[in-house]
Amino acid sequence: MSRIIVFGGHGRVALLLAPLLVARGDEVTSVIRNPDHVADVEATGAVALVADIEDMDTDALADIIRGHDAVVWSAGAGGGDAQRTYGVDRDAAIRSMDAAARAEVRRYVMVSWIGSTAEHGVPEDDGFFAYADAKWAADEHLRGTDLDGTILGPGALTLDDPTGLIELDPTGRGDVSRADVAAVIAAALPEPSTFGRTLRFGNGTGETAVPIEQAVRA
């Protein structure tokens, strides 16, 4: 059994992740900003923790992380306002990494996106630029820490049914169901071979796709 804290606990991926973790015996704390979402989160078997991570400093984040075995960052501003995107997807994410180190919680899984590279190619006048820039900065910060970090880069998220299959480093958009993203997070969390790795993935097609557990351990 592991004690896992999930930031962005009311997101679609997180709501699919929590039941997977609970079913295997893990204890899940899902951090949410809106108290109206408590019932949704607790219906998954997780414990809801209402906290505004955008306004919390490193010490406050360390206080809620302490006592857990792993951190999953699945929070995001949801696009739109660039200032808030930087505030959540970059700044709060970075504070959470520093807080995890301060709380002596070494395992950290970042849910990023497939295009998070220095050469992401999104022009500065594009509305998506802030997200791309913020995610890249957060990913780079994690790579520079001593945490046992894993960066997961799913492609374009869909509402399709889970397939249990993914393709690493796919070409194109890398479409992938949110349910399969949740399964990848669950598979990666206890897997030491993912420490220090960035896994970019989509569902793939035909022979290019392999079972998630196999792909994660590759």
pLDDT digits (tens, 9 = 90+) for 35-48: 999 999 999 999 99
Q: What is the pLDDT of residue 160?
A: 96
d(CA 13, CA 110): 13
Q: What is the pLDDT of residue 77?
A: 81
Does residue 176 carry a pLDDT above 80?
yes
Q: 91-100, 116-125, 162-171, 186-195: which range is least confident on average?
A: 116-125
Inter-residue contact 202 to 154 (CB < 8 Å)? yes
Does residue 13 carry a pLDDT above 80?
yes
β-strand pairing of 197-202 with 165-168: antiparallel
d(CA 18, CA 33): 17
pTM for this predicted structure: 0.96
Q: What domains does the chain contain, in order, with CATH numbers? A: 3-217 (3.40.50.720)
